[in-house]
Structure 1
Amino acid sequence: MSGLSETERAGCTKILKFMSKDDLLSLSDTVTSKMIVVENVTEAMETIISFTKNAEELLRRKKVHRDLIFKYLTKEGVAMLPSTEKHQLVKRTLELWSSGKAVDDNSHLDETSETTDSTSTKAEVGFDPLVLGQQFCQWFFQLLNSQNPSLGQQPQDWGPQHFWPDVKLCLLSRTSSEQTEEFLGAELVSLRLLALTKEERLLLSPNLEPPGLRGLASPHGLVLVAVAGTIHRDAACLGIFEQTFGLIRSPLENNSWKIKFVNLKIRGQEALGGAEMAAPALTYNLVELQLLCGR
């Protein structure tokens, strides 16, 4: 009876799991006009899904509160402002489902972005990974920071085209509590990093000199760049970050470097205990970096 696609069914189920038992049973009564009596939460969810004609109808139900949809989108790596209204969240969720979250591997192969040229240093014999690291970081953080509306700059060409389709992002933030997030795929990784500057209005200022920056090259063509820096919002320094990138050249795009994985650790002021923040140094040791490089 359900008119939902597989993606919509999976997404609706995730949202329903956030609901209280009372709300689920009540919603089941509503969608079935009390024609079906359910015994438990699992039956309620299955019944709701079965009797739903389309995804939008379910998302617009009163019992499907705005906060539930916001929580779902956040877990899926879709950055939305906390003040976003329910109808906008519904629209974004439907867009996410209709795209199937699929990254079109071919969508960026024909594009030649002006900004990728600045990272097209070729890894010839004897090239210096540290120099590449400096060039890459100058390019990356300038590009990412340009998305911050408080700077008043023209945003540069940010997007999934700078990442490999199977890129992975691990984000660890230590502020008053510790939180770990993981995202997979160029679209989601690109959106989550964009949210740091565009929505959260953070400014990342890297330390481009050792011991704040290191570069390592693996025999398999991967270059690891590790950088530390400070995080700011407007005039306030909020803490420090450490970020490692795995870079691999794309032979289909003039051998420009594209990002294979990103690990980002953020430590807020309260987690630092008054440590020096002027020019942060990397806390990764060489063995840890070599392990990352050997992926």
Structure 2
Amino acid sequence: MSPLSGPERSGCLKILNLMSKVDLLSLSDTITNKMIVVEDVTEAKETILSFTKNGEELLKRKKVHRDIIFKYLAKEGVVMPPNSEKHQLVKRTLELWSSAEVVVEEHVPGATDDIKQRLVPNTDMEMADVKADIGCDTFMLGQQFCSWFFQLLNSQNPSLGQQAQDWGPQHFWPDAKLRLVARAGSDQLEEFLGAELVSCRFLALTKEEHLHFSPNLEPHGLKVLSSAHGLVLVAVAGTIHRDNTCLGVFEQIFGLIRSPLDNNTWKIKFVNMKIRGQDALAGAQTTAPALTYNASELQTLCTL
């Protein structure tokens, strides 16, 4: 059995899932010195995990290319400069695993029970599984929601090579509103009303414009407020990428309300979104951006 810890094993599995079949089979041969013959990708992954001493050993393998680690971190919501070298990405990945702030991936045959642990929702989970009572840890609810939302949205981007998950108007209230302000020299305002239109506009950002959103889920990039009437406000900042190019930063405020007719699922009531392109940043730091909204501005939205 592999000596990998639960977070290490989960993270390594996600990285293996991003690799090609040819590289997986080759890596399995290298690690076992061709003493074990594997017949398919699933066997190759489990063999690699079983014979890997620690996460660092796998990350430093030649077949685990820099771009794969970069893509893995982006999917985990970890923002890194596009020109980061492999050793920098390896270091940040190990820090992520040691903090256990990792989405545990799906089970593979022979995997330990650690793989079944779910710290935050993955992309194919229903929004109903993102549950937290008002009065409990609302910050964790915000982290869970943002992890779920952006993984789901990013999965629609064909350039990332992921399987598109179940995106659609079912995640929004029928009268949902989207207010989108894009700033690249001058402000451009778009407003959409209704679950179908709001859903389609978000879908266009990733599926057609090939944008990739990396939220900053640390305390300076994420704030969560709740009202006595059941509204939960989630505000998050992050960076926007296309391929390996950082295009700018975004700030998003979600208004969430449970739907008692849909298994108490959290649904999106409104979204206020601001996008600032590189030209509008005037050389400002774009890694791990912080929210510019203050508490009083967010509190005002809670009373709407």
Which of the five TM-score ranges fits, normalised by the shorter chain? Answer: 0.5 to 0.7
Find the residue that maps to 1:240 and give its secondary structure.
strand
Find the residue that maps to 1:195 and give its secondary structure.
helix
**Deviation (angstroms), 1:176:** 2.9
1:24 corresponds in structure 2 to none
User: How big is each residue's C-alpha offset from its partner over 1:164-209, in whole Å with a ceiling of 9 and x where there is no partner?
Assistant: 0000000000013210000000000000011000000000000001
Q: Are 1:290 and 2:299 counterparts?
A: yes
Selected match of 1:221 from 222, 230, 234: 230
User: Which runs of structure 2 are paired with 1:35-184 in the superposition (5 Å)?
Assistant: 114-119=125-130, 121-124=131-134, 126-184=135-193
> Contact between 2:241 and 2:248, CA under 8 Å: does it hold in 1?
yes
Structure 1 stretches of 5 or more lacking a match?
A: 1-112
Between the aligned partners of 2:302 and 2:276, the Cα distance in structure 1 is 23
Identity %: 71
Between the aligned partners of 2:266 and 2:246, the Cα distance in structure 1 is 31
1:242 corresponds in structure 2 to 251
> Contact between 1:122 and 1:255, CA under 8 Å: does it hold in 2?
no
The letter of the residue matching 1:115 is E
User: How big is each residue's C-alpha offset from its partner over 1:60-111, in whole Å with a ceiling of 9 and x where there is no partner?
Assistant: xxxxxxxxxxxxxxxxxxxxxxxxxxxxxxxxxxxxxxxxxxxxxxxxxxxx
> Contact between 2:255 and 2:268, CA under 8 Å: does it hold in 1?
yes
> Which structure has the greater CA radius of gyration?
1
User: How big is each residue's C-alpha offset from its partner over 1:264-295, in whole Å with a ceiling of 9 and x where there is no partner?
Assistant: 10000010000011110000000000011111
2:213 corresponds in structure 1 to 204
Q: CA RMSD in A?
A: 1.1
The letter of the residue matching 2:133 is A
Between the aligned partners of 2:225 and 2:263, the Cα distance in structure 1 is 22
Selected match of 1:251 from 225, 243, 260: 260
> Contact between 1:229 and 1:240, CA under 8 Å: does it hold in 2?
yes
Between the aligned partners of 1:145 and 1:171, the Cα distance in structure 2 is 18
The letter of the residue matching 1:123 is D
User: How big is each residue's C-alpha offset from its partner over 1:191-249, in whole Å with a ceiling of 9 and x where there is no partner?
Assistant: 00110000000000000011100000001100000000000000100000000000000
> Contact between 1:172 and 1:266, CA under 8 Å: does it hold in 2?
yes
Between the aligned partners of 1:196 and 1:227, the Cα distance in structure 2 is 17
> Contact between 1:175 and 1:267, CA under 8 Å: does it hold in 2?
yes
1:76 corresponds in structure 2 to none
Between the aligned partners of 2:278 and 2:302, the Cα distance in structure 1 is 29
Between the aligned partners of 1:165 and 1:123, the Cα distance in structure 2 is 23
Find the residue that maps to 2:261 and give its secondary structure.
helix
Between the aligned partners of 2:212 and 2:180, the Cα distance in structure 1 is 16
Structure 2 stretches of 5 or more lacking a match?
A: 1-123
Q: Are 1:268 and 2:274 counterparts?
A: no
Distance 1:114 1:235, change over 3 A: closer
**Deviation (angstroms), 1:114:** 4.5
Between the aligned partners of 2:292 and 2:267, the Cα distance in structure 1 is 25
Between the aligned partners of 1:147 and 1:183, the Cα distance in structure 2 is 20
Find the residue that maps to 1:292 and give its secondary structure.
helix
Between the aligned partners of 1:244 and 1:123, the Cα distance in structure 2 is 20
Find the residue that maps to 1:253 and give its secondary structure.
coil
Q: Are 1:278 and 2:287 counterparts?
A: yes
Q: Are 1:191 and 2:200 counterparts?
A: yes
The letter of the residue matching 2:190 is E
Find the residue that maps to 2:298 and give its secondary structure.
helix
TM-score, normalization by structure 2: 0.58
